[in-house]
Each structure stands twice: as structure tokens, then as C-alpha cells.
């Protein structure tokens, strides 16, 4: 098949790759994959096996206005190239509304709750306006689509109330050739000694954005240190389109935790394993939002692949799926502290994530595309 992918962001410039990067780089071995290249970042951060189609728009790191300012350019480009493809896979709200007007079948990957995700990049009162507009556009795109792919059964139940189109569940995954437990010497050399980590080390891997409740963890650190005086908090990941990462740093400084809360910044995906393996507990603290409670991200899988137990909040899909297999849920500070003690004694069988390797997931994704298009596997 000839497939056009309309991604959520800059395909090769975004600091953190998402599921489409991993899936379509693999599917490019069997299909012709073109990707709309939205230039949101000056720096190229990864190679790709897909063909990039320039959207002819200028670099603009302000994601809140990028797609609005470039709407006419993107609409013209997508309208011109859409007839050349067998199917369009889209995860991007405004460009999706353009592709929805074309005759080419479109499948939406509902990998996130788009209205809340979009609203998170705006301050009040614009955040509510953005959420309402994106809600309307999302429903329009769903109505015009051939079907949807989504990462969890909870998302499927949520979407089923909004459409009778076909919905396929294809979970998020991880690259088990790059993510896995490493030996103690490598951990000490690359991470523990470099950052003077104490014990236990609590850790977070991922983007530093408003929907992640790291503020709560940082504010809890003085209490944690009363029980574990040498405890450290290792935060691995970049800030993206907001100043939230700077606010987290200021919060830790105001609490006198500069030496206990370590921010590494962005680390390449293939280099993450020593950082995760240096953690005694992996954190998945989510705020109470649909975009969190309906999904299941890859970070939980990455923690488990490195043999690290997980403390998770507001992500029931992961908390139920891996209950008694390394993931412990909490909803309050008291519960966090009780579960932390349990986590520190919890041995992890890393094989629990074997079925989530991207090589397996991409075959499921390919089948989902064929099923939604009404075709047999080719």
C-alpha cells in the first residue's frame, strides 16, 4: 500500500518519538510510507525509514499557533497529494480536518484524548476555548473517517459512545532491542556516579508537561526523606512547548531539594536503559484527566522491561493489566508511602512485556488498517 501519515508533531525533530515513529519505520519495509513533515524544531533528532513530505511551512516552536497560522499552506499541500494514496493515517486535528474532505480513505489513530491534549498548551481562558474547538473538529474528523485505531480498550469504550465506525485496539509498545535491564557496572558508570544518586532512587522518564503530576512527587520528597534520608528523585526527559520544566526546577529549589532532585534533560531513546535501570522505583504520576485515565503509555512498559517496579496514579489500564506484576497504584500521599515500601521489595519478571515489542505491535497495526479498509491481509 501507499500510505500517507499525518503525525501529531515534527517527525524527526520532536525530542520524544511516539508510536507512529516506531510502527511506520517498520511498516516501511513492506509499504510505501510518506509522512507530512511539520517543522516545529530546528534540530533533527532522529533518522527515519519513511519518506518525508515537506509541508512548506516555516519552523515555529509555538505549537499552540503553528497549525492555525499554517492552515492554508497545509490545506493546499494535503489537498494536492491526498489522491495519490491508498489510505491516510492521521493523528493531527487541524490537518485531519483537511484530509477528511478528500476522497482517500482516512483512519484516525486516536492515541490521545485530543481536546485535553490541545488545551494543555494554552493558558486560561484560551484553554477551554481550545478544548471546545478541538472537540468539535475531532467529532467531525471521526464522522468523516473510515475507522479508528486506539491504544486501549478504555479509549475504545469512550469512542464507541461517539461513533459507530470500526475501532481497533492496538496497544503502545517498546523496542526490546534498545530497552532492557543493564549490568550494575554500566549503571554506576553512566548514571549513579555521574549524578551522585542516593538510595532509594525514585525515577521518572518522559516529557515534562502539565498533565504529569511531578509537582506532587517533588512536594512529597521531604516526607520521603524522613523515612529514607538518602533518597533521590531522578527526572529524565525534556520540557517541550511550555515552561513547565522550569517551574518544576524552581519548585525543587524552593523546597531546598536541589541536590536531591536531578533533572537530566533529554536522553536519546537508545540510551535510556542505564537511566531506568538506575531507578529503584519508576514513577507514572498522572493528573486526573481523560487523556490519562483512558490511555496506557510506553513508560510503564519501559520500567518493567528494565526490571523496575512502578508506582502509578490515574492510569487504570496499566494498573489493572500489570497488577501483581510490578505496577502498584496509589491515589494519596499515604498510599504512595505505603506502596513505596512494597515496591522496594518487589522482584520484576521482565518477560511480562515481551508481547509489547514494536515488531509485534506493528503487525497488529498493519492488520488493523486492512480490517478497517475491508481488505484481506496482503
Grid cell, residue 304, equals 518493567
User: Do 294 and 154 meet the contact criterion of CB atoms below 8 Å apart?
Assistant: yes
Going from the C-alpha of 52 to that of each of 13, 64, 197, 212, the distances in angstroms are 12, 23, 41, 31
pLDDT for 11-66, tens place per residue? Answer: 999 888 999 999 999 999 999 999 999 988 888 889 999 999 999 877 666 676 78
Q: Any bridge partners for residue 262, and if so which?
A: 234
Predicted confidence at residue 293, as pLDDT, reads 82
Predicted confidence at residue 218, as pLDDT, reads 96
Q: Any bridge partners for residue 36, and if so which?
A: 53
- If you average pLDDT over residues 266-274, what whole number do you get? 94
pLDDT at 365 over 90: yes
Going from the C-alpha of 254 to that of each of 212, 223, 257, 261, the distances in angstroms are 20, 15, 8, 12
Instruction: Give the side-chain half-sphere CA count within 13 A for 112.
Output: 21
Average pLDDT score over the chain: 90
Q: What are phi and psi of 212, to 5 degrees?
A: -95, 130
Long-range CB contacts (within 8 A, 24+) of 217-221: 217/283, 217/285, 218/248, 218/251, 218/252, 218/255, 218/257, 218/261, 219/251, 219/255, 220/333, 220/336, 221/252, 221/255, 221/257, 221/260, 221/261
Residue 28 burial by Cβ neighbours in a 10 Å radius (0-12, 13-18, 19+): middle
Confidence at 119, pLDDT banded by 50, 70, 90: low
pLDDT at 349 over 90: yes
Query: In whole angstroms, what is the distance from residue 91 CA to residue 71 CA?
Result: 16
Query: In whole angstroms, what is the distance from residue 357 CA to residue 126 CA?
Result: 39
Residue range(s) of every CATH 3.40.50.2000 domain in the chain: 2-173+357-372, 184-354
Place of cell 524544531: 41
Domain 2-173+357-372, CATH homologous superfamily name and number: Glycogen Phosphorylase B; (3.40.50.2000)
Give the CA angle between residues 272, 274, 275 to the nearest 5°.
Answer: 65
Query: In whole angstroms, what is the distance from residue 331 CA to residue 329 CA?
Result: 7
Q: Please give the residue that has the higher pLDDT: either 119 or 173.
A: 173
Four-point Cα dihedral 254, 259, 265, 270, nearest 10: -150
User: Do 4 and 36 meet the contact criterion of CB atoms below 8 Å apart?
Assistant: yes
Query: In whole angstroms, what is the distance from residue 53 CA to residue 154 CA?
Result: 33
Query: In whole angstroms, what is the distance from residue 327 CA to residue 315 CA?
Result: 11
Query: Quick one: which H or E segment has residue 86?
Result: none
pLDDT for 239-260, tens place per residue? Answer: 776 778 899 999 999 999 999 9
Q: Please give the residue that has the higher pLDDT: either 102 or 177.
A: 177
Q: Under CATH, what is the fold of the domain 184-354?
A: Rossmann fold (3.40.50)
Supply the pTM of this predicted model. Answer: 0.91
Grid cell, residue 303, equals 520500567
Q: Please give the residue that has the higher pLDDT: either 315 or 23.
A: 23
pLDDT for 94-114, tens place per residue? Answer: 887 877 778 899 999 998 867
Predicted confidence at residue 69, as pLDDT, reads 86
pLDDT at 68 over 90: no
Amino acid at each position: 500500500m501507499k500510505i500517507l501519515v499525518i503525525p501529531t508533531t515534527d517527525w524527526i525533530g520532536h525530542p520524544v518519538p511516539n508510536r507512529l515513529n516506531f510502527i511506520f519505520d517498520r511498516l516501511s519495509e513492506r509499504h510505501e510510507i510518506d509522512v507530512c513533515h511539520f517543522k516545529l524544531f530546528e534540530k533533527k533528532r532522529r533518522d527515519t525509514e519513511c519518506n518525508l513530505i515537506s509541508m512548506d511551512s516555516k519552523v515555529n516552536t509555538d505549537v499552540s499557533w503553528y497549525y492555525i497560522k499554517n492552515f492554508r499552506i497545509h490545506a493546499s499541500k494535503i489537498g494536492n497529494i491526498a489522491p495519490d494514496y491508498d489510505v491516510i493515517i492521521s493523528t493531527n486535528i487541524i490537518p485531519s480536518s483537511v484530509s477528511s474532505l478528500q476522497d482517500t480513505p482516512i483512519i484516525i489513530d486516536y492515541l490521545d484524548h485530543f481536546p485535553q491534549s490541545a488545551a494543555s498548551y494554552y493558558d486560561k481562558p484560551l484553554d477551554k476555548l481550545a478544548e471546545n474547538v478541538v472537540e468539535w473538529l475531532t467529532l467531525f474528523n471521526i464522522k468523516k473517517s473510515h475507522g479508528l485505531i486506539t491504544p486501549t480498550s478504555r479509549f475504545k469504550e469512550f469512542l464507541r459512545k461517539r461513533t459507530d465506525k470500526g475501532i481497533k485496539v492496538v496497544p503502545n509498545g517498546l523496542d526490546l532491542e534498545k530497552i532492557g535491564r543493564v549490568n550494575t557496572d554500566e549503571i554506576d558508570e553512566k548514571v549513579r556516579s555521574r549524578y551522585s544518586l542516593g538510595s532509594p532512587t525514585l525515577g521518572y522518564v518522559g516529557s515534562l508537561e502539565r498533565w504529569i503530576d511531578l509537582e506532587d512527587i517533588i512536594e512529597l520528597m521531604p516526607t520521603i526523606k524522613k523515612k529514607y534520608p538518602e533518597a533521590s528523585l531522578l527526572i529524565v526527559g525534556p520540557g517541550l512547548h511550555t515552561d513547565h520544566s522550569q517551574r518544576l526546577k524552581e519548585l525543587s529549589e524552593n523546597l531546598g531539594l536541589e541536590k536531591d532532585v536531578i533533572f537530566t534533560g533529554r536522553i536519546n531513546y537508545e540510551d535510556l536503559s542505564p537511566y531506568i535501570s538506575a531507578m529503584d522505583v519508576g514513577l507514572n504520576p498522572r493528573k486526573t484527566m481523560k487523556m490519562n485515565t483512558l490511555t496506557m503509555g510506553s513508560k510503564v512498559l519501559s520500567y518493567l522491561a528494565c526490571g523496575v517496579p512502578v508506582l502509578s496514579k490515574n492510569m487504570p489500564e496499566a494498573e489493572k493489566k500489570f497488577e501483581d506484576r510490578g505496577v502498584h497504584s496509589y491515589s494519596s500521599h499515604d498510599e504512595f508511602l505505603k506502596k513505596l515500601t512494597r515496591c522496594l521489595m518487589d522482584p520484576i519478571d521482565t518477560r511480562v512485556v515481551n508481547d509489547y515489542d514494536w515488531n509485534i505491535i506493528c503487525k497488529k497495526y498493519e492488520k488493523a488498517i486492512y480490517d478497517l479498509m475491508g481488505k484481506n491481509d496482503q
